[in-house]
Amino acid sequence: MPQPRIAIVGAGSIGCYVGGKLLAANVADVVLVGRPRLRDEVAAHGLTVKDFDRSQTVPAERARVVTEISDPAVAACDAVLVCVKSAQTAEVAAALAGVLRGDVIVASLQNGVRNADVLRAALGQRRVLAAIVSFNVVSRGNGLFHRAMSGPLMIEAATGPAARAMIDALAGAGIPVEEKSDLAPDQWTKLVINLNNAISALSGAPTQQLLLSPGYRKILGAVAREALDVLRAAEIKPARLRGVPLHVMPAVMRLPTPLVKLVTRAQMRVDPEARSSMWEDLTRGRLTEVDYLNGEIVRIAERAGVKAPLNQRIVDLIHAAEKKGPGSPGLDPAALWSALSG
């Protein structure tokens, strides 16, 4: 069988890591659709993907980057991985609808719970697969993308040849892949976990520091507890997180730090460099996805007739930070708690 041709639209940290793994394993012909900055960075340094224990470098001549979805290389693909921010999904879906032909499969490797549906509205129900990226990737500059957290890529099970070729290529690249017939409960779980992204962005603290600081854990637990109360009121049941019921998460955040270390170590591996993508957006002066994460909880709360004041305040604080320009507010635990509860 020939290698599948895979386009990665919105080649940021996640997209470049996945694309780099596919190219390094030589299991797919990949084209990255990204900003001119990425094109120039890869042309100068190649594309390097780093895991916990090793790194792999793809030379510049093999790492093809284009800047427009209308590029002929995208139209020639068998599969498309959409990695853009949620606010761009509708625009990207419309652009892909004008380019894709035949049985091209599209997978949404995005945060939030509604992106796959937005893509399906433009591209057709059978063509689009939802997916969840459970790991974190940090852009280090000079073409280096570092996976800083363990976890699988979960994707809707599919049987068509294009989908199978894409999924098999991802697994062949050494990316842990889990196929699920019903991904919705896991999407809600990932949404609750992703509420932490804004806390990382507002504090500037890496994920490990958030987990080891009692002050930050107090905030993580309170925000998660509020979100879970909202989902319960809306009769939405999230999946277990690596076998653990999600409702125990706030209680875990209240444990002494040594016990939190043991619990989190059993659940996942977290590199000291792990930070949220929202932190990266703020530091680079880009709009964030807060409306599709914490803002999603606020919307569900309104529909269910309940309140979500902590998540609403987080949305307000992130938007205020966006308006101030590049950089994280750098709020310590006391300042952040005061800002959320005041």
- In tens, the pLDDT along 327-338 reads 999 999 999 999
The answer to whether 149 touches 274, Cβ cutoff 8 Å, is yes
Residue 264, pLDDT above cutoff 80: no
Q: Place 2 in a pLDDT band, splitting at 50, 70 and 90.
A: confident
The answer to whether 45 touches 60, Cβ cutoff 8 Å, is yes
**How far apart, in whole angstroms, are the C-alpha atoms of residue 256 and residue 253?**
8
Q: Place 242 in a pLDDT band, splitting at 50, 70 and 90.
A: confident
Q: Place 263 in a pLDDT band, splitting at 50, 70 and 90.
A: confident
Classify each residue of 282-304 as buried b or exposed e, where b means 16 or more C-beta atoms within 10 Å of its C-beta. beeeeebbbbbbbbbbbebbeeb
- Show Cβ contacts of residue 243 under 8 Å, excluding neighbours closer than 6 positions: none
- Show Cβ contacts of residue 17 under 8 Å, excluding neighbours closer than 6 positions: 49, 137, 145, 147
Classify strands 64-66 and 55-58 as parallel, antiparallel or unpaired.
unpaired
**How far apart, in whole angstroms, are the C-alpha atoms of residue 281 and residue 51?**
22
Q: Place 315 in a pLDDT band, splitting at 50, 70 and 90.
A: very high
The answer to whether 301 touches 195, Cβ cutoff 8 Å, is no
**How far apart, in whole angstroms, are the C-alpha atoms of residue 119 and residue 89?**
7
Query: Average pLDDT over the chain, rounded to whole?
Result: 94
Burial of 49 (0-12, 13-18, 19+ CB in 10 A): buried
Q: What are the angstrom distances between the C-alpha of 234 and each of 145, 219, 228, 245, 307?
A: 38, 23, 10, 18, 12
Burial of 61 (0-12, 13-18, 19+ CB in 10 A): exposed
Over residues 216-221, the mean pLDDT reads 96
Over residues 49-72, the mean pLDDT reads 95
Over residues 31-46, the mean pLDDT reads 97
Over residues 243-253, the mean pLDDT reads 88
Q: What is the pLDDT of residue 266?
A: 66
pLDDT in tens, 147-194: 988 899 999 998 889 999 999 999 999 999 999 999 999 999 999 999
Q: What is the CB neighbour count within 10 angstroms for residue 99?
A: 18
Q: What is the pLDDT of residue 1?
A: 58
Q: What is the pLDDT of residue 107?
A: 97
The answer to whether 300 touches 165, Cβ cutoff 8 Å, is no
**pTM for the full predicted model:** 0.93
Q: Place 119 in a pLDDT band, splitting at 50, 70 and 90.
A: very high
In this prediction, what percent of the chain has a pLDDT beyond 90? 81
- In the DSSP assignment, the letter for residue 52 is S
| Crossing angle (nearest 10°) for helices 333-341 and 196-203 | 120
Q: What is the pLDDT of residue 260?
A: 86
Give the pair of three-digit tokens for residue 92: 């990207």
In this prediction, what percent of the chain has a pLDDT beyond 70? 99
Q: What is the pLDDT of residue 137?
A: 93
Report the range of poorest mean pLDDT among 107-111, 116-120, 123-127: 123-127
